[in-house]
Structure 1
Amino acid sequence: MKVAVFTETYHPQVNGVVVFLSDILPLISKKAEVVLFAPGDAELNVEKVNRNFKIYWVPTYPFPFYEGYRMARIRSATIEKILREEKPNIIHLHAPVLMGLRALKVSRKLGIPVIATYHTHFPDYLPHLFKGLLPKPFTEIAKLPLKRLIKYVFSKATCTTAPTLELKKELESYGVKNVLHIPNGTLFEKFGKGNPARFMRRYGIPKDRPIVLYVGRVSFEKRLEVLLYAFKKIRKATLVIVGSGPSLKNYKRIAKELELNNIIFTGHVSTDVLSDAYSAADIFVSPSDSETFGLTFVEAMHFGLPVIGVDRLGAREIIRHGRNGFCVKAGDSDALVEAISTLIAYPSLRKRLGAQAKKDAEGYDIKRVAERFLQLYKKLCRETKP
């Protein structure tokens, strides 16, 4: 069996989709041939990763509304030519945009079944893309044609997968049919045990304060200003923000204006340093209200951390309020203060929630997710045989 995978984002970009694909595609390639189409540089290049894994690096151009993001530039005729040569049995689109739409069009012409995975909840990104320049009523109006476009695109796939039950229901409310719930997952084996002391020495973190950790892209849609404003009222902890992105300078500026001296920005780190960060932390928190899944919640839970997130989309499904962490209202820094302060004040509660979080993380092993997709590939191939 051969699978053609199309993604609008891949290395060297760092985000949840890239991490997910980096973990799952090598596993898929152990049982099927994988041909990946991913955004590259100026020219179309082919890279042979291993015997069963090939990458077509597609030419790109900068996306004007999101720094660091590049749009794939490839004609439908080129996609068709390559697919006729590769002869895949199935096509898997991840967060399809321009290249994904063209691949979808070609797949229908060639009679190849298509799975479309909904990674990015585009309606939530509208206010962030225009950086608050659009008044809220106009933003809500602009979401209507976007929802119709989502219905149009995903309804043309043979089936759609959503990483959470809430997103499955959301897509169905738009009129998308045949939506399956397959959660994302992570490859736990890539993490080491971690060395807390080494991490604290590296960044000069005092030993007498709990560490509150955020891991992820440092970009406007992650709403990190909510967390920074919360830390204006939290003095008995150190906030560590791990990651990089287009808003790093802006958030450093906000932290300086708020006179926060208990915050550390590490920038992008290696997997080994990330393991150290998770092992050193006491609490994990993300104020993002646009997470369709939230892989970093699962990673933190794997290290036995209680997690705090926003009460919607992916966070609401992963976090069991009062069981493995807390869910708070989106954009509410006071609610974040209360949740973080509670876990700081009660170490026994922190330990109990963290222990349950570690158990719950086991359900998000990427190996299980890979097997579910492989079974789905086989099922669709059987159903579409002439």
Structure 2
Amino acid sequence: MATSSPNVPKIVHVGPGLEVRGGVSVVERLIIDSISPHVQVEHIATMEDGGILRRIRVFGAALWRIHSILRDESPCIFHVHFASRGSTLRKCIVSLMVLRTPCWLVLHAHGAGFDGFFSNLPRPLQERVARIFRRSHGFVVLSTQWLEFYATQLTLRRERIQIMVNPTDPPSTVPDRRCHDTVQFLFLGRIDDRKGAFELLDAYHALSATTRARARIVFAGDGRVEELRRRAAEIGPDVVVHSWLDREERDHLLAASDILVLPSHHEGVPMAILEAMAYGLPVIATPVGGIPDVVRHGREGLLVEVGNRAALTTALARMVAEPALRMSLGQGARATAESLDVTNYGKRLLEFYQTIFAGTSDESGLTEVGAETRPWRTALNTPRRNSEPYTVPVGETRGRVPVSSGRRGRGRGR
């Protein structure tokens, strides 16, 4: 097992199980893989797929493990991943446990619909959640749009917030798509109204017969799969609907497709988009959440207005009619995905942890009055001067990451 750097203590990631379907689990796995050679990492699952009783048992076991770590009184940074609804409430409980101790708390906001969820909470609960978030020692968001939301609506200090677009793990090479006779559109994600799956089906159906003769569309995900299949069957064999795919099946589909389409109404930074860009796919999407930070219109893809089916149909038709545009946007998408490589992400995250542990965040006013002191700083860490470069010690072998519940899987969710 890797030992922690003198500049970074043990890191405890708290979030959904690593085999849970969804983008948060994908991000957790990528982060843990990237930093575990350099620091000691443990993952604690607060939620796993299954019935209500299983979920209660998993959360109870997570609280017990967190209590055990906190009782040990060793220096730890708790990196807590949350989305919205039940995830937020569970992580508030975890956060309060950590904040009662000298450990550090980093909150990582993933929820695409957190703004709507938060606005619908009773005012006293809003104030309670915001107060907990403000007491964190670091706060990670996915985009500039979400930074503005948390800074203005929950009054988090801007200097405490770190923008970290979700990481990618690009394949070494991408397929040559120049000779494709049929253009394959691909939708990956939850099949529901928020992701725009049914709007996309309608927009594709509205393509001219000439364009449809040169195209097909594939959907893959969970949610209202059977409903979409029934509607797709009425359109024709050029519409294919899959249920949830494992990583190998997903990668095969990305390699065989030409364009990813995700006309979402609300988003963080979808892993489906980043994974597609890593495979050199141009993207048709909507400018919501953090999408405009990674997909620029005319650079990595085409952006269309939310809910505008006519504009979506036009964008689909343009991608079929202009192969040179597809190739150019695909090259731009791949270049952007490479810049978000998980190795670079891991280095930035370790630097963020080091800043928190070294106490430089205190110098920026990040520690609230009355917060408990960290006695380990004097004994274990000498704060570096700002001019000193930070280097992450490279372990000779990858450390095994302890997982509190379940076997660690290699498949990816979305």
Q: TM-score, normalised by structure 1?
A: 0.78
The number of aligned residues is 337
Contiguous gaps of at least 5 residues in structure 2: 1-8, 360-373, 379-414
1:115 aligns with 2:106: yes
Q: Hey, what's the Cα distance between the residues in 1 that align with 2:29 and 2:144?
A: 24
1:167 aligns with 2:146: yes
**2:44, 2:62 within 8 Å by CA — same for their partners in 1?**
no
Q: Secondary structure at the match of 1:227?
A: helix
1:226 aligns with 2:193: no
1:382 aligns with 2:362: no
**2:92, 2:129 within 8 Å by CA — same for their partners in 1?**
no
Q: Hey, what's the Cα distance between the residues in 2 that align with 1:286 and 1:187?
A: 20
1:333 aligns with 2:309: yes
CA spacing shift, 1:75–1:26, aligned 2, 3 Å: closer
**CA offset at residue 22 of structure 1?**
1.2
**1:298, 1:361 within 8 Å by CA — same for their partners in 2?**
yes
**2:285, 2:302 within 8 Å by CA — same for their partners in 1?**
yes
The match for 2:55 is: 61
Report the AA paired with residue 55 of structure 2: Y
Q: Looking at both structures, which has the greater relative contact order when contacts are Cα pairs under 8 Å and sequence separation is at least 6?
A: 2
The match for 1:24 is: 31
**CA offset at residue 297 of structure 1?**
1.4
Q: Hey, what's the Cα distance between the residues in 1 that align with 2:342 and 2:102?
A: 30
The match for 1:203 is: none
**CA offset at residue 194 of structure 1?**
6.3
**1:195, 1:275 within 8 Å by CA — same for their partners in 2?**
no
- Select the residue among 170, 193, 196 that pairs with 1:188: 170
Q: Secondary structure at the match of 1:97?
A: helix
- Between 165-174 and 287-296, report the one with greater CA deviation: 287-296
CA spacing shift, 1:184–1:100, aligned 2, 3 Å: same
CA spacing shift, 1:93–1:342, aligned 2, 3 Å: same
CA spacing shift, 1:275–1:101, aligned 2, 3 Å: same
Q: Secondary structure at the match of 2:194?
A: helix
- Select the residue among 335, 346, 349 that pairs with 1:370: 346
Q: Hey, what's the Cα distance between the residues in 1 that align with 2:326 and 2:168?
A: 23
CA spacing shift, 1:217–1:11, aligned 2, 3 Å: farther
**1:194, 1:276 within 8 Å by CA — same for their partners in 2?**
no
1:150-204 deviation per Cα after TM superposition (whole angstroms, max 9, x unaligned):
5233212112111111111111111122212122112224x875698xxxxxxxx
Richer in strand (by share) = 1
Report the AA paired with residue 152 of structure 1: R
1:311 aligns with 2:295: no
| Correspondences of 1:270-281 after superposition (within 5 Å) | 270-281=246-257
Q: TM-score, normalised by structure 2?
A: 0.74
CA spacing shift, 1:382–1:317, aligned 2, 3 Å: same
Q: Secondary structure at the match of 1:110?
A: coil
Q: Hey, what's the Cα distance between the residues in 1 that align with 2:175 and 2:116?
A: 34
1:5 aligns with 2:13: yes
1:223-266 deviation per Cα after TM superposition (whole angstroms, max 9, x unaligned):
211111111112231111123x232122223324x534321123
**2:112, 2:268 within 8 Å by CA — same for their partners in 1?**
yes
Contiguous gaps of at least 5 residues in structure 1: 43-58, 63-69, 127-139, 197-206
- Select the residue among 89, 100, 106 that pairs with 2:97: 106
Report the AA paired with residue 37 of structure 1: I
Report the AA paired with residue 357 of structure 2: C
RMSD (Å), alpha carbons? 2.9
**CA offset at residue 220 of structure 1?**
4.5
CA spacing shift, 1:168–1:40, aligned 2, 3 Å: closer
The match for 2:156 is: 176
Q: Hey, what's the Cα distance between the residues in 2 that align with 1:19 and 1:41?
A: 14
Q: Secondary structure at the match of 1:72?
A: helix
Report the AA paired with residue 228 of structure 1: L
| Structure 1 segments (4+ residues) deviating >6 Å | none
Q: Secondary structure at the match of 1:83?
A: helix
Report the AA paired with residue 209 of structure 1: T
| Correspondences of 1:280-291 after superposition (within 5 Å) | 280-291=256-267
